[in-house]
Amino acid sequence: MLSLLRKTPETRPPHSEGVIKLPERAQPRPKPKVGVALGAGAARGWSHIGVLQELVSNGIVPDVVAGTSIGAVVGGCFAGGKIEALESFARALTRRRMFSLLDLSFSGSGLFSGGRLKTRLERELADIRIEDMPTAFAAVATEVGSGHEVWLTRGLIVEAIRASYAMPGIFEPVKWNGRWLFDGALVNPVPVAVCRALGADLVIAVNLIGDTMFRGTVISDRVVVDQTLQALDVAANTVEPPHGGSPERTGFFRRTFGRGEDGAPGIASTVLDALNITQDRIARSRLAGDPPDVTISARGLGRFGLFDFHLADELIASGREAVRRSLNDIEHHLATVSVGRRRTI
C-alpha cells in the first residue's frame, strides 16, 4: 500500500523550469559574387582604373573581371595585383612617350609589332599565369579568319592582354596555342556574358563607346587627329620608321595618323574610325540581348580621343566620377541580387 502512495517520479529533465526556447539564429545572407565587364575604347580605357579604384574604396571588390582590348589591360593588371603600377605608368605618359612605345612592324600584318609594349607589360606582370591570379579573369579576343570569340582564361597574362588589344591593321596579331588572335572588340566589346560564365551573380558593365540609351552615335576622333599632327615633330625624333631621314619620319606619321592634301584620313584614322563604328553597333546589340545589372556609361568621355593616352589624370578622374553617379544603383542591386543566380546565355 505504501508503495502505491508514493509519487511517480517526474520525467521532466532537471532545471527545465523557466527555460524558454530561443529561435534559431538567422543565417547571414551569402555575399554575391561581383563581376566587372571592362569594355574596349583605346585611351578612354584609362578610366577603367578610376572605376576599379572607386569601387574598391566603397567596399565593392570585384570577384570576377573580364576585359576586352584596353579593358583586358586594366582588368588583367587589377586581377594580378598591379593596378597601382599601371596607374603610375599611365599618369607618366606624354605624347612623346606614347609614340616611343610604337615600334614599326615589317611583317605587313600591322603598322606596329607591339614588342615595346610587351616588354613594358612584362616588367610588371612577368611570368604571371591567369589561373594563378587571386581574382578570376578572362580576356576576350577574336580568331583571325573564323571570327570566333575566344575567352582567354589560362596561360600567360601578358600574351592574353596583347591578343585582346591587337587592333587589326594597327598591331600584329598574336599567336595563342596555334591560333592567330586579334582585338576582341570585333566580337564582344563589353564582355558581360563572360563575367556570368565565370560565376558572377551581379555584373557591372563599363561601356566606353555607347551611352545608356543605346543611341546610334559614334564618338568623333577628330580632336585626337589634330593633336597628333601637332606632336609629329616630336614623334619623328622618337620613333624609327622604315627609313632614316627626319622628313620621311614626319611624312610617315602624317600619312598614318593625319590627313592627306585632299582631306582623306590617314591609315590609322581610317582603321580606328571603322573599329569605332563596328564596336558601337556590336556593343549595343550584345548589351540589349544580355543586359548587365548595372551599366556605367561613357558619358563625358566623348571629349577624349582614342589616342589620348597622355590624358590619364582626367580619364581616371572621369572613371571615379562615373562610379559615384552609379553607386546607389550598384548598392541597390547588391542588396537584392539572388546569390547563385545564373541567366541563360
d(CA 163, CA 170): 12
Entry field: residues in the chain:
345
Under DSSP, the state recorded for 184 is: G
Residue 106, SS3 per DSSP: coil
CA 205 vs. chain centroid, Å, equals 9
d(CA 135, CA 150): 19
- The residue whose grid cell reads 582623306 is 264
**Among residues 47, 63, 164, 183, which one is catalytic?**
183
Evaluate whether 189 touches 210 at the Cβ level (below 8 Å): no
Q: Which three cell numbers stand for residue 302?
A: 566623348
**Half-sphere exposure (CA, 13 Å, Cβ side) for 133?**
27
Concerning whether 183 is annotated as a catalytic residue, the answer is yes
d(CA 45, CA 147): 24
**Among residues 47, 69, 164, 297, which one is catalytic?**
69
Q: Which three cell numbers stand for residue 96?
A: 612623346
Contact residues for 35 (Cβ-Cβ < 8 A; gap 6+): 62, 63, 64, 65, 66, 195, 196, 198, 199, 200, 201, 202, 203, 204
d(CA 42, CA 272): 9
Concerning whether 3 is annotated as a catalytic residue, the answer is no
Which residues are tagged catalytic?
Answer: 69, 183
